[in-house]
Structure 1
Amino acid sequence: MEVAMSVVASEVVSRFISFLMDKYQSSSHAESEEKVLERLQHLLMRACTIVEEAETRYITNSGMMMQLKMLSEAMYRGYSVLGHSRYRALQAGARIEKVSSNDSSSSSLYLAKRSRTTTDKVTCLESRGALESLEFAIANMVEFIVLLGGCERMSRRPYDVYLYTDNFMFSRHAEKQKLLSFLLQHNDPHGDHAVAVLPVIGGPTTGKKTLVAHVCGDERVRSRFSSVLHLDGDNLLSILDHGRTMVGTMLVVIEFASDIGDDDWQKFHSFFERTGRGSKIIILSKLKILVRFGSVIPIFLTVLSKDELRYLFMALAFGSVDRAEHPRLVEIGDEFVKVLNNMQGSLIAANSYADVLRKNLNVQFWRSTLDKGKRFLKRNLSISGVQPSTHLAQGHRVDITDFALHPLSMTRYTINVSIKEESPSVTLGGIIADPSVRPEGDFILTSWVSRLPPHKSFVYFVTSHAQDTCEGSALSGRKRRGVPI
């Protein structure tokens, strides 16, 4: 009997000690995680301050541009991790509270707490990784900050100081500085390239025109060139007929949809060498082959990273509203980012969705809109096998049945499309919010109008394919190849 009592007492003491140790480790872990997030938030404030100050200076040092790019990437990653950590903490707390109120059994509470512990571990690893990246980036910024103080300050413009994401160009910090440096640098009049050429290469909707328009709005750039010419690469040589009327230092921006022969390019380039010293040329295209005409290292614009896309989309969708008050919407917002990321980070789609969502902060509406977006992406991938934005850029039609709740498809609105003058016009946001606003017959659809120069409108021509859908339903065993133009 005494032996049995001794064993029981020993077991009780052992479990009690284990309980105390687990509790200590748990509280220590929570405290450690809290300190990591506090440190991350503090470093994000420092990083944001450095990036914002760099935006107000003219940076010509290529090494500083690379450092700025590294810092901005670490900053957006940190913001993404911090947002996820806050949401997961709220979600885990709500789950345990729900289990506690509905089912007080120890097994249910244990499973809920175990799930929270697993989540905490994942969050902790992500937070520490983001913190280490940011610490490394900032630790190497001492010289950057010293050199930044010696860089000339830019003239402030209204939309530069108005901290609202709709009204200034997001990200592209290093690219803006590189383009500015190119435009403000004086050419060597005795060099091989009297007219310097910078190719800006990127896919559709990566912001090539917006980047150039943003930099060309700078006061020093405007005063540097007597005129800015925007040319179409398909009619490039037509400018040769205006040689007598073109004088002074010019900035020429050329948009190429297709390649051009070397001989034609040489004629064009020689023409500007004769018209004025100090003139510069910017090439805009998605074709990498055109970098052969550049006299300096080209700028390559890629789609936004997932962290950048999340930062931008959340800022656009919530505006000035505190996201902490809408944890369910934050969760849905993260799912939207996944959809947008699958759409190659389309800036048009991000702005179009955000415009609609910000006007109605309702969980059911956000969820319904997200489901429409998922079905839209899935339907078009099954039809064409490529992303909708890519399909549109190639001149093909894209199915928007899931938004309009009616068999409709849209194509790019060009002068080659026959449209009646009285054709009605609606916005994509209007159709998503209320499909009944869809006009009868063909109509013009405005997906988004950029608030930044050159204030491009993304407009499409929409037609019904109800008859095609009915005919295609009889061929259920065959895969549709898309709607003919």
Structure 2
Amino acid sequence: MESFISAILGELTTRSINFFISKLSKPTTLDVEDRLRRVLLRAQVIIDEAKGRHITNQAMLLQLVMLRDAVHWSHYVLDTFRCQLHQDEEGANNQVNSAMRLYSRGAKTLKDLQGALDNLSSMILDVNELPHGADEELEVLPIVGPSYVGKSTLVAHVCKDERVRARFSEILFFHIQTFTDDELATFRYECELKHQNRVSESNLEARLLVVIELIGDLINEEAWGRLYSASKRYAPRGSKIIVTSRFDSIVKFGTTRALTLKFLPHEAYWYFFKTLTFGSMDPEMHPRLTHLAMEIAKMLYCYFIGANIMASLLRDNFDVQFWCKIVAFLRGFFHKHVSRFGEHPFDLLNQNRPAHLRRLATPSQVFVIYHQYQCSRQDKVPKIRFQDVMYGTFKTSGKFEFLSWRSSIPPYHSFAGTCEILELKAGGAKRKRSMKDGDTLR
């Protein structure tokens, strides 16, 4: 009897160990990773095909947005898994420690991978057929969103599309502050012609696309009414108006549902930042750098200009030690800024409010960014770069202009600002002033 019980216990023990090992083994997780990678390729094909079609069906557009978000999330889960796997392999002292480490962290990773796979697969099943054709466009489309979210970039890409250019005889741009009477008086003469098709006077298909960039808030509704009425009289039938603003007050003047732009969620921002930083290089070949890049992306608070500046800096110094130095510097600086002023500096910059930043090369100094502004392609831009101020040894006195970033895609805007370098005083001489009023630490 004892030998029988011993044999049963031995068999149960062997099966339990085999089950435990099968659950811990990497091929199970790697198999899900491989399947997720293949589904991601399929999803990307669907998205690329959709970009080549003129889809106006709102339900289908919503499905495509959900599919795109699922793709960003899946890429984020994959990159997180690879970074964890690299850390486990680097820190493993023996097989037991490696297995326990994989068990403690691998369960959640496997769950995330499987969840991303199931979600993405479900999305692809929903997007079976993309409708062709286009509905007739409505007259006024409002586009709203915070500063630096990409409203001008979106409009520039739309106006560059050959289908849009073929539809309109002229594409006009007008930058206006608040629709005052004086600004309306110069409306037709101040418009910038971005595109023109050669059409005969008898061509009834001649249409205008007027893009109005509203810089301030819409406080004069009567002025907008006069502009709208005049545009209907002046513009040929079938003309359209796009109005962009960071204020929601323009939404009620749209003849179709407003397009609201928001900053990217973290997973999509990571995909964007990774693409900028690594370019044509394969991040999988540099797991340590990928992990550091993920840490940096988390600290940038989805700040578009910050992503471009930081990616440029990292590309110029493709070195693990340098990237580690940047991570330590940003982590310490952001923590001190939040504890002192109650807000992340990039939150302030996104709102075009004053913020003060530390200098990497000279820790005894800070530079205060008082104001940011946008330059067109023709404007004269400052020669001093943001990188030179924050990470270099640039010296000057008083306020000066600097170049944050120059965009390489339409509308090719440059982003500049006004700042000042200040010396930090030691000990009790430091004092805090209200950042809202433009004061800072001296």
TM category (shorter chain) comes to: 0.7 to 0.9
Q: 1:426 to 1:375 in 2, by over 3 A?
A: farther
SS in 1 for 2:306: helix
Q: 1:93 to 1:407 in 2, by over 3 A?
A: closer
- 1:384 is displaced (CA, Å) by 3.7
- Name the residue aligned to 2:387: 429
Asked if residue 14 in structure 1 is aligned to residue 9 in structure 2, the reply is: yes
8 Å CA contact retained: 1:236, 1:268: no
- How many Å separate the matches in 1 of 2:262 and 2:69? 13
Q: 1:34 to 1:382 in 2, by over 3 A?
A: closer
Q: 1:403 to 1:212 in 2, by over 3 A?
A: farther
- How many Å separate the matches in 2 of 1:110 and 1:12? 26
8 Å CA contact retained: 2:148, 2:350: no
- How many Å separate the matches in 2 of 1:21 and 1:484? 66
- Name the residue aligned to 1:63: 59
- Structure 1 unaligned spans of 5+: 101-108, 152-180, 188-195, 416-420
- How many Å separate the matches in 2 of 1:89 and 1:20? 27
AA aligned opposite 2:386 = L
- Name the residue aligned to 1:481: 434
SS in 2 for 1:458: strand
Structure 1 stretch 359-368 or stretch 385-394: which is displaced more?
Answer: 385-394
- 1:68 is displaced (CA, Å) by 0.8
Q: 1:355 to 1:430 in 2, by over 3 A?
A: same
The two structures have a TM-score, normalised by structure 1, of: 0.77
- How many Å separate the matches in 2 of 1:244 and 1:385? 46
- How many Å separate the matches in 2 of 1:85 and 1:400? 33
Q: Choose from 152, 161, 169 the match for 1:218.
A: 161
Q: CA RMSD in A?
A: 3.0
Asked if residue 185 in structure 1 is aligned to residue 140 in structure 2, the reply is: no
Number of residue pairs matched by the alignment: 413
Q: Choose from 342, 354, 363 the match for 1:385.
A: 342
- How many Å separate the matches in 2 of 1:81 and 1:237? 53
- Name the residue aligned to 1:251: 210
AA aligned opposite 2:270 = R
Q: Choose from 263, 266, 280 the match for 1:320.
A: 280
Structure 1 runs of 4+ off > 4 angstroms? 9-13, 242-248, 438-442
AA aligned opposite 1:306 = H
Per-residue CA deviation, residues 196-217 of structure 1 (Å, 9 max, x unaligned), is 2111111122111100111111
AA aligned opposite 2:385 = T
8 Å CA contact retained: 1:256, 1:283: no
Q: Choose from 234, 252, 266 the match for 1:292.
A: 252
SS in 2 for 1:462: strand
Q: Choose from 119, 130, 142 the match for 1:199.
A: 142
Q: Choose from 212, 229, 252 the match for 2:173.
A: 229
- 1:393 is displaced (CA, Å) by 5.3
- Name the residue aligned to 1:170: none
AA aligned opposite 2:439 = P
Q: Choose from 88, 92, 105 the match for 1:119.
A: 105
Q: Choose from 263, 269, 274 the match for 1:309.
A: 269
Structure 1 stretch 207-216 or stretch 384-393: which is displaced more?
Answer: 384-393
Q: Which has the higher helix share?
A: 1
- 1:17 is displaced (CA, Å) by 4.6
Q: 1:242 to 1:459 in 2, by over 3 A?
A: closer
Q: 1:390 to 1:122 in 2, by over 3 A?
A: closer
SS in 2 for 1:455: coil
Q: 1:371 to 1:431 in 2, by over 3 A?
A: farther
- How many Å separate the matches in 2 of 1:244 and 1:396? 33
8 Å CA contact retained: 1:199, 1:298: yes
Q: Choose from 163, 185, 201 the match for 1:241.
A: 185
- How many Å separate the matches in 2 of 1:393 and 1:41? 34
AA aligned opposite 2:141 = L
- Name the residue aligned to 1:93: 89
- How many Å separate the matches in 1 of 2:187 and 2:352? 35
- How many Å separate the matches in 1 of 2:53 and 2:207? 27
- Structure 2 unaligned spans of 5+: 192-205, 375-379
- How many Å separate the matches in 2 of 1:68 and 1:244? 38
8 Å CA contact retained: 2:174, 2:187: no
Per-residue CA deviation, residues 68-87 of structure 1 (Å, 9 max, x unaligned), is 11111111111111122222
- Name the residue aligned to 2:75: 79
Q: Choose from 430, 446, 455 the match for 2:412.
A: 455
Per-residue CA deviation, residues 288-336 of structure 1 (Å, 9 max, x unaligned), is 2321111110011111011111111111111122222221111111111
Q: Choose from 137, 161, 165 the match for 2:123.
A: 137
- How many Å separate the matches in 2 of 1:214 and 1:447? 22
Per-residue CA deviation, residues 126-173 of structure 1 (Å, 9 max, x unaligned), is 0011011101101112233xx3xx45xxxxxxxxxxxxxxxxxxxxxx
AA aligned opposite 1:263 = E
| Percent of aligned pairs sharing the same letter | 28
The two structures have a TM-score, normalised by structure 2, of: 0.83
- Name the residue aligned to 1:162: none
AA aligned opposite 2:232 = E
Asked if residue 346 in structure 1 is aligned to residue 303 in structure 2, the reply is: yes
AA aligned opposite 1:455 = Y
Q: Choose from 221, 237, 242 the match for 1:262.
A: 221
- How many Å separate the matches in 2 of 1:227 and 1:352? 32
Q: 1:251 to 1:259 in 2, by over 3 A?
A: closer
- How many Å separate the matches in 1 of 2:372 and 2:71? 38
8 Å CA contact retained: 1:403, 1:435: yes
Per-residue CA deviation, residues 409-457 of structure 1 (Å, 9 max, x unaligned), is 1222569xxxxx9x9732223445x522444654432221111111121
8 Å CA contact retained: 2:397, 2:420: no
AA aligned opposite 1:90 = H
